[in-house]
Structure 1
Amino acid sequence: MFGTSGVRGTVGDEITAELALAVGRAVGSDAERVLVGRDVRDSGALLADAASAGLRECGADVVRVGVVSTPVLARHVGWLDADAAVGVTASHNPAPDNGLKLWSRSGQAFDAAAIDRVERRIHDEAYDLQGFADLGSETTHDGASDRQVDHLVEGFPSFEGLSVVVDLGNGTGRPTVDALVALDAEVTTLNGQQDGRFPTRKSEPNADSLGGLCRTVAALGADFGIAHDGDSDRMMAVTDEGTFVSGDVLLALFSRQAVTEGDGSRVAVPVDTSLLVRDVVREAGGAVTYTRVGDVHVAEQVSEAGYVFGGEPSGAWIWPTETLCPDAHFAALRLATLVAESGPLSDLAADVPAYETRRENVAVPNKRAIMDRVSARLGETFDDVLTLDGVRIDDDDGWFLVRASGTEPIVRITAEARTAEAAARLHETARAAVDEAREE
């Protein structure tokens, strides 16, 4: 039921009030005080009502924080002395979708064990339903976003003289704007009207959806631009020249900044991350640990001692001493600090090495069986095989990854190297392993 980012799907199909009620009952059976918040989608109101009803049926007291970003909700679990939070959001998915994501007291998404308990309760309908005298209460907490802004302003210096364009994508990213303004930056906003239909651009901030931001930054001569998705757990950026910055480059820049400040500590990244991140981190005196794909797995890794940062190229950035939730508001201010201290974002991005990447999706009849055969075949051929999430092979020139799609009957092949020739060689090796597995 739950994936690495909670449960998501089309409203009225996979996502219903009945499901939200069940999730509320399951969480409320093991908690005393739970926050409920949602993003800007209209369907979120009824789903949040259903989740709250389920929580209170099982005796949990509910605190409704309204329409807030995911990082605001996650931070407030600890700030409001709650046991958990239910976030009604489909993040960067299109408007017809919605979902539910669960947050723990530490600000980290529910780990595998906690999700398993929720799923077992739902499957078995094993809820701790209460009688009239023991039903939970519901209260409202106003000002959650304001507290996030105050927290950010306290932790950063003045950005006087810095000009920033912020594309909110009709979502919940307003705390980023308010914090930058309070810190004396000159801020221009795009798509600032909250609208769960996401009428002005797709919710996911990527190279295809941020053409307007790129043009605006260049036209205004701003220092850089940033963009959020619908629930503001993602942040992507545009340079002063109006060029989109890839997630791998941002990941490298944030990692180097954190490692330099942390005196040679570790960062965590998913197995499909570019080689350039490892190279940049090593040059800065740190080390990289690979995780399964999904920010929840990155968060679990950086919660351990010795980690100063973790992130995903999709735009999820985690500083563990700050919060274990991907916080796009905090990330925006970290980027502002980097530009203010180290110069134009275009120069910083150009300083990161560029490597050759090959990607291919291969349709397969049974992706699980194919991956088992690929893993066995490559394990016989190579000494160093990483099987955290798919099969990753590294050599002196680069790496390749063979990984099954989580939603489609395909196997994804990614190969990257410092030269085009090496990337082609690695891609051919990976494709041959997949072809041979299909023929068995």
Structure 2
Amino acid sequence: MFGTSGIRGRIGDEVTCDLALSVGRALASDGYETVVVGRDARESGRMLADAAASGLRECGADVIRLGEAATPTVARSVGWFDAHAGLMVTASHNPAPDNGIKLWNPSGQAFGEGQREAISARVREEEYDLASWDELGEQDRRDDSTERHVTPTERHADALVEAAGSGDLDVVVDAGNGTGGVTAEALRRLGHEVQTLNDRPDGTFPARPSEPTAENCRALTEFVAASDADLGIAHDGDADRMRAVTESGEFVSGDLLLALFAREAAGPGDEVAVPVDTSLTVADLLESQGVSVSRTRVGDVYVAERATDPGVAFGGEPSGAWIWPDETLCPDGPLAACLLAELVSRQGSLDRLVGEVETYPLRRGNVEVAEKAEVMARVREEVLAEYDDVETLDGVRVGTDSGWFLVRASGTQPLVRVTAEARSEERADELFAEARQLVEAAR
């Protein structure tokens, strides 16, 4: 039921109000007595959030409704409200027809594997502890400012201003019609001039697809290049991801951004948590300052789990999820935006910072498959028989003298992902073709 990034799927097919009701019932029945509930801008999120809240209350849990908010706002709010869990209705960077549910702990960390399985088991067995009529949970709405309290989004902005240094950049923020408006607010309060693109929340994502890739963010890169802006920022639909554009309009690769964030956050003797598909660029850059890299399975939940270990100063994924464990264990796109603006303010140019990092040819691609598990089992068998340097932490990763390749199943889509990297363009192409052929032969 849960993938690496929670529950995700097509509305009316994999994701329904019945499922949301069941997850709410399961959470409350498993002992989570107070639960924060939020949603992204998708219209389907309204009914799913209502259903989840009803299931929670039906089994005696109290519910704090945040309404429309960024995922990191909801994750942080669990601790702020002394709640026991958070439930975010979102499909993150997935297309508009999708939606989903992700669950959060008070630390800001997503539910771990054991927690997810406990909820899944209750849903499968319909094992719910329904409350009597006079013991139903209560509901408190926190999506409007009053004299009694500020909204969680306002509190999130306060936390960002406290965490990041001030500056005077010209920044363009492309919220992608998602819930990342807190980024622009915090940057302005930090002293930056901010222009926004696609800042009106709209879950149909009319301006561009939700995922902030180079292709999807061409309007941002062109706008930044044609203006006097110092920095461009892009979010996905729920603002847990953040990608960046240099002053010349270059869309910064996730591996480069990971390397820059990690170098800034970690010191000698520290570790940085990264997934197995991360470029060698990161390890090479960090080695020079005595920082080691600790590999995890792909997925921000696994990076966050490793970030709880002593000595891990930072965790990140090239897809755009960035975790500073001293702040929160949730990927916080707005926090990443504010800290990047601080870094560029001090260093003077993101183009220069990016240009100073040595990079290697890296290839990434996907193969559509009907049965991921069966395909991966055949690939694994073939790889273990043919290659010597093989890791199976997540999929199969093959090391060679000149580079490496990784074949792994997507956690959220019917895809097998292929990654290859080498010291030369020709060898990177060869390794990528070799890995892709393994998948094609196993289909």
TM-score by structure 2 length?
A: 0.93
CA shift in 2, pair 1:394/1:75, >3 Å: same
Deviations 1:316-375 (A, max 9, x none): 111111111000011001101110112211111112222123445557786544533443
Tell me, what secondary structure is at the counterpart of 1:72? helix
CA positional deviation for 1:122: 0.4
CA positional deviation for 1:131: 0.3
Rounded Cα–Cα distance in structure 1 between residues aligned with 2:439 and 2:159: 50
Tell me, what secondary structure is at the counterpart of 2:140? strand
1:156 aligns with 2:156: no
Deviations 1:378-418 (A, max 9, x none): 43555442101111122342211122345666644322111
2:334 to 311, 329, 333: 329
1:268 aligns with 2:269: no
Rounded Cα–Cα distance in structure 1 between residues aligned with 2:66 and 2:245: 32
CA positional deviation for 1:255: 1.3
Moved more, 226-235 or 250-259: 250-259
CA shift in 2, pair 1:431/1:77, >3 Å: closer
For residues 6-155 of structure 1, the aligned pairs below 5 Å read: 6-29=6-29, 30-142=31-143, 143-155=151-163
CA positional deviation for 1:40: 1.1
Preserved contact between residue 402 and residue 412 of structure 1 (Cα < 8 Å): yes
CA positional deviation for 1:314: 1.0
1:216 to 223, 231, 254: 223
Rounded Cα–Cα distance in structure 1 between residues aligned with 2:56 and 2:209: 33
CA shift in 2, pair 1:229/1:417, >3 Å: same
CA shift in 2, pair 1:363/1:37, >3 Å: closer
CA shift in 2, pair 1:97/1:353, >3 Å: same
1:249 aligns with 2:256: yes
TM-score by structure 1 length?
A: 0.93
For residues 182-221 of structure 1, the aligned pairs below 5 Å read: 182-221=189-228
Aligned residue-pair number = 435
Rounded Cα–Cα distance in structure 2 between residues aligned with 1:208 and 1:106: 34
1:352 aligns with 2:357: yes
For residues 275-290 of structure 1, the aligned pairs below 5 Å read: 275-290=280-295
1:173 aligns with 2:180: yes
Tell me, what secondary structure is at the counterpart of 1:225? strand
CA positional deviation for 1:193: 1.2
Rounded Cα–Cα distance in structure 1 between residues aligned with 2:154 and 2:348: 30
- Cross-structure match for 1:225: 232
Structure 1: tracts of 5 or more residues without a match? none
Preserved contact between residue 364 and residue 438 of structure 1 (Cα < 8 Å): no
Preserved contact between residue 361 and residue 422 of structure 2 (Cα < 8 Å): yes
Rounded Cα–Cα distance in structure 2 between residues aligned with 1:184 and 1:194: 24
2:420 aligned partner, one-letter code = A
Preserved contact between residue 176 and residue 197 of structure 2 (Cα < 8 Å): yes
Tell me, what secondary structure is at the counterpart of 1:134? coil
% identical aligned pairs: 57
Rounded Cα–Cα distance in structure 2 between residues aligned with 1:372 and 1:335: 41
Structure 2: tracts of 5 or more residues without a match? 144-150
CA positional deviation for 1:277: 1.4
Rounded Cα–Cα distance in structure 2 between residues aligned with 1:119 and 1:349: 43
Rounded Cα–Cα distance in structure 1 between residues aligned with 2:305 and 2:295: 12
CA positional deviation for 1:309: 0.9
CA shift in 2, pair 1:11/1:359, >3 Å: closer
Preserved contact between residue 152 and residue 179 of structure 1 (Cα < 8 Å): yes
1:313 to 307, 311, 318: 318
